[in-house]
Amino acid sequence: MYGEKDVYYDFHRTSQMAITGLTAGVICHHWYIFLDKVIIGKSLEMVIKKLLLDQFICSPLIIFSFFATVAILEENPLESFTHEVQSKFWTLYKAEWFVWPPAQIINFYFLPTKYRVLYDSTISLGYDIYTSHIKHKIKSHPEK
């Protein structure tokens, strides 16, 4: 059993993740509308096209926006952003290739556009735990 002083809840970290989630939600909302206007239909070919565009364009954009949003909330935003991207981008991007393709096949094939961000946000609840872990596991600032 943990004693009371062993329990620690990081409100700052939670608020950072909430703000980055809002940012990602806005980006995804507009991204899904765009994808459905550009690639019309739910055939396997259309779903694969959307999936590839999502992984090669939107996923990196979301990761960059995550690091940018968090950096704005930290000291030395430019230095923090640059270091975070250099040291953690590829770790998160590789993980995205395991989580999101199966999730997005369901999203693009079965769900209407208006439910995609809600579905995406539900999957993100779990994935963002990993994202937060990566963000805070590796040193956030370069050694001086």
pLDDT digits (tens, 9 = 90+) for 70-125: 999 888 899 989 999 999 999 999 999 999 999 999 999 999 989 998 999 899 98
List helix spans (H) across the chain: 11-38, 44-53, 59-72, 77-110, 113-137
Report residue 144's pLDDT band, with 50, 70 and 90 as the boundaries.
very low
pLDDT digit string, tens, across residues 118-142: 999 899 988 988 998 898 885 544 5
The region that residue 76 occupies, defined by phi over 0 for left and psi between -120 and 50 for alpha, beta otherwise, is left
Give dist(CA 112, CA 62) in Å, integer. Answer: 21
Report residue 6's pLDDT band, with 50, 70 and 90 as the boundaries.
low
Give dist(CA 82, CA 92) in Å, integer. Answer: 15
pLDDT at 10: 80
pLDDT at 140: 47
Give the domain ranges of the chain.
10-137
Alpha-carbon Rg for the chain, nearest whole angstrom, is 17
pTM: 0.83
Give dist(CA 22, CA 93) in Å, integer. Answer: 19
Two tokens at 31? 């991204």
